[in-house]
Structure 1
Amino acid sequence: MATTKNWSPELEGLRGVASLWVFLGHIALLVNCKIPIIAVPKLGVDLFILLSGYLMTKNYIERQEKEPWGSWQTIKTFWLRRYFRIAPLYYVMLFVALLGGYYLGDVRHIIGEAFPSTVTETSRYSDLSFFNVLTHLTFVFADLPQYAYNTALPDWSLGLEMQFYLLFPFIMLLTLRWGFALTLVSVMVLDVLGRYLLPEMYDAFPMPSMILIKLHMFIAGMFMAEAVRRRRVLFVVLALLAPVVSDLLNIRMDDVQVTVEALMILGMTGVLWSWQQPGLLSRLFALPRWVLSHRVFTWLGDVSYSVYLLHLLIVMPVIALLLNHFHIANHSSGARYLLTVGICMPVVYLLATFLHRKVEMRGITLGKRIIQNKAANEKAINLP
């Protein structure tokens, strides 16, 4: 992602932590190693969601003078920017996942036989039907329960992200009319009302890919952005309404996971807060800020999207190979977990670095070129 003014390197570090969490969590689930918190990769996705809400709000506000919110051109530019950030690499990985769908279904079946608690419907990996491919190419799959969880990729969250991008400019426009706090709290209230008015719709999705299931977490990220920008604790308190909403929605979230969501909001805000006076809190967050700003963690952030899309395509075949040839099901859960991580991590991060440079960055550059050309053409058309 391109840098903007007041850029915090900690943001890249947090993205790296989120992708690493999902990567390690999926391995823990697949080898049946019950590591508290780590073995809940959906919490890593929640961290991604918080970061998305934060970054979209921060960047949108910082560009407001050059890109007025009420301009249709601003909205189109925002959508194009986000599309080319997400789509090029996703299409490459989707092609690989669909091409290898039958093989990935086979290796996933091997894992399910060894660890029955991990069993899933593997036929979804090899669905090459026209509508499955079309819904994934257009990103509408996340709104359709039968297609929302239908490839070997963890792409349900990308469909969720695209829905947020679609709504975000209009939410920001509403903040101009109703105020920031009232608008975002109202959205959270509508989120909860929808759960009780249309419970079957919320329960229909195998993963929380429909925007109303997770919109409150994006909203929490938006509140955090304004809390940091304005240095207002009230917005941190309002962001903490998000875990309350998670609890009220009651969709595959237990009390521990809701508590972790609250701790993520507090921890992320503390890391990004501009501590102007030395004190206990500034000292408390000094070490995590230093760690997250380190070049290792910023590199993890750079390749985080590639890691997120790629990792299962490597992890599942490796685990199946270890089960077939090294019988790791007979080993302790900790031993098979460490062995799998040790083999997969260098492969995943090496390939992710290549994908980041050769696909992801080129997609972003292409998007910038298209936006610049459109702006130049419209300027030429408007000249007297």
Structure 2
Amino acid sequence: MVQQNHRRIDDIEALRAFAVMFTLVEHVRYVLAWGNGYVHTFDLFFSATTGVDLFLCISGFVIARSILEDFERAPDNHSFWRISFAFWVRRVYRIWPTSILWVSVILLCSIVFRSSEYFGHFRRNLSDFAGVLTQTQNFHMVGCLPRTECGNAGPWWSLSLEEQFYLLFPFAVFIFRKRLGYFMALVVIAQLFLPRQSWTNLWVFRTDAIALGVLMALFSRGALYKDLNPRYLGSCFYSAITVTTLLFLLASMPGASQKISSVSFSTGMVAIVSAVLVFIASFNGDYIARGHIAKPILLWIGSRSYSIYLIHWFSIYATKTFWWYVEPKGTIFDGKYTLRYLLTWLILTFVLSEMNYRFVETPLRRKGARIAKRMSLGTGISHADVTDCGQGTGSNTSSVTSS
């Protein structure tokens, strides 16, 4: 049972790939700041910001699936909290190095390339840096956006939300124990039908998608779960139709980007669609990722989704700065630079993400796992059972995502 709970789920990794691709699509507008007809048309009908909700739901599912059994097998409170600290150590080594590295690079670039001004003002970036370090960037952005005083660490808001979840989750397990599912259901119900305008406190602390992910993990441990396996998705045709429809709904949910106000609780609807996708992926039946070409590509993107999520934002400003220095002074950047900007942005994003994955994420994640295993000694849990929730032994747990 433990081995099953810790092995990587390829379909979950593929979902992460779709989530980060949603984010890339949504942020094309910032690369092509002069405007683009295709982006405008997309905005009329879709919102790819919902990739963040998918990231959050995945995180809730993967974390709960990876650690709940270890918590339940702890023989006493002392062992429980040792497992909790081991869990937090893994999260710190998995999340913080990449996060702090790239927010620091943005801060440094705002000094080195201040003449181009694309990386923003140092003081505002320093304020964002503080929000990232304290894991409060989501609430910081609610305060600084109305005053237009935010720096260039926008995507870190969802990462702070995930980190808050990682910090509080063991406390929730400890307090509610066997009633954890009821508590998570209450978290979902309390938010599901709330109207949540962009960049309000409710919007940046939306935990219904995360709670639904936890509920999916709890449900997957019951007998009924296996009976609900959607085996019809083993057919390429039905799988393609179902997954495409759900991804379409995720992007086109009424009011998802606050452009359509007919449905005020669209954020809750997006969380539900995300949970359905995670439920399908949880069976690891190649329902999401399949094919000799598509599956390896999706798994590669999914395994590096955390790096891509953060680095693509740096690459936007690096692209603009690069062409500002390359082209003659006074050049007006417009539509004729579209292809050059997009290629520069994508190449920078994927090359730097691969380097970050190999030389920052992977070695430090493994180090965190080794430290966590040493901390687990004396808890009554087998040394081999307390595994890293990252890409090596389980599924990669970040986003927003992070988004």
1:121-177 deviation digits (Å, cap 9, x = unpaired): x44x64365x65444323234344446953335111111111111221223334424
Residue 234 of structure 1: how far off its partner (Å): 12
Q: 1-side partners of 2:51 and 2:113: how far apart?
A: 23
Amino acid at match of 2:12: L
Residue 318 of structure 1: how far off its partner (Å): 1.9
Give the equivalent residue in structure 1 for 2:214.
Answer: 222
What TM-score, normalized by structure 1, do the two folds share? 0.70
Q: 2-side partners of 1:3 and 1:364: how far apart?
A: 21
Is 2:190 the partner of 1:184?
no
Residue 23 of structure 1: how far off its partner (Å): 2.0
Q: 2-side partners of 1:266 and 1:150: how far apart?
A: 35
Residue 77 of structure 1: how far off its partner (Å): 1.6
Residue 223 of structure 1: how far off its partner (Å): 2.1
1:184-233 deviation digits (Å, cap 9, x = unpaired): 1222344479x79xx99x9655x943x3xx11111121122234443449
Q: 2-side partners of 1:191 and 1:259: how far apart?
A: 11
* Pairing partner for 1:273 from 278, 283, 289: 283
Tell me the SS of whatever aligns to 1:21. Answer: helix
Residue 56 of structure 1: how far off its partner (Å): 1.0
Give the equivalent residue in structure 1 for 2:239.
Answer: none
Q: 1:167 to 1:92 in 2, by over 3 A?
A: same
Q: 1:309 to 1:203 in 2, by over 3 A?
A: closer
What TM-score, normalized by structure 2, do the two folds share? 0.67
Residue 80 of structure 1: how far off its partner (Å): 1.5
Amino acid at match of 2:210: F
Is 2:124 the partner of 1:127?
yes
Give the equivalent residue in structure 1 for 2:108.
Answer: 99
Q: 1-side partners of 2:268 and 2:219: how far apart?
A: 21
Q: 2-side partners of 1:375 and 1:59: how far apart?
A: 15
Q: 1:152 to 1:39 in 2, by over 3 A?
A: farther
Tell me the SS of whatever aligns to 1:127. Answer: helix
Q: 1:52 to 1:141 in 2, by over 3 A?
A: same
Q: 1:25 to 1:339 in 2, by over 3 A?
A: farther
After alignment, is 5-14 or 346-355 more displaced? 5-14
1:249-272 deviation digits (Å, cap 9, x = unpaired): 999485577655543332332233
Q: 2-side partners of 1:377 and 1:319: how far apart?
A: 53
Q: CA RMSD in A?
A: 4.3
Amino acid at match of 1:142: N
Q: 1-side partners of 2:214 and 2:178: how far apart?
A: 17
* Pairing partner for 2:138 from 137, 142, 161: 142
1:87-125 deviation digits (Å, cap 9, x = unpaired): 011111121011112567775769xxxxxxxxxxx44x6
Q: 2-side partners of 1:377 and 1:187: how far apart?
A: 34
Residue 28 of structure 1: how far off its partner (Å): 3.4
Q: 2-side partners of 1:62 and 1:160: how far apart?
A: 24
Give the equivalent residue in structure 2 for 1:316.
Answer: 317
CA contact (8 A) 1:203 1:251 kept: no
**Identity percentage of aligned residues:** 20
Give the equivalent residue in structure 1 for 2:49.
Answer: 42
Q: Equivalent residues in 2 for 1:1-384 (5 A)?
A: 5-31=6-32, 32-33=35-36, 34=39, 36=42, 40-64=47-71, 67=74, 70=77, 71-102=80-111, 122-123=120-121, 126-127=123-124, 129=126, 133-144=129-140, 145-146=142-143, 149-178=150-179, 180=181, 182-191=182-191, 204=200, 208-209=203-204, 211=205, 214-230=206-222, 231-232=224-225, 252=258, 254=260, 255=263, 260-273=270-283, 286=287, 288-290=289-291, 294-319=295-320, 325=327, 329-331=334-336, 336=338, 339-375=340-376
Give the equivalent residue in structure 2 for 1:239.
Answer: none
Tell me the SS of whatever aligns to 2:8. Answer: coil
Aligned residues between the structures: 335
Amino acid at match of 2:109: G
The structure with higher relative contact order (CA 8 Å, sep 6+) is 2
CA contact (8 A) 2:11 2:284 kept: no
CA contact (8 A) 1:292 1:298 kept: no
CA contact (8 A) 1:22 1:308 kept: yes
Q: 1-side partners of 2:118 and 2:353: how far apart?
A: 26
CA contact (8 A) 1:13 1:297 kept: yes
Amino acid at match of 2:358: R
Q: 2-side partners of 1:98 and 1:293: how far apart?
A: 37
Q: 1-side partners of 2:283 and 2:290: how far apart?
A: 10
Residue 349 of structure 1: how far off its partner (Å): 0.9
Structure 1 unaligned runs (5+)?
A: 111-121, 237-242, 276-284, 380-384
Q: 1-side partners of 2:16 and 2:153: how far apart?
A: 22
Q: 1-side partners of 2:284 and 2:310: how far apart?
A: 33
Q: 1-side partners of 2:111 and 2:297: how far apart?
A: 36
Tell me the SS of whatever aligns to 2:274. Answer: helix
Tell me the SS of whatever aligns to 2:151. Answer: coil
Amino acid at match of 1:91: I
CA contact (8 A) 2:10 2:284 kept: no
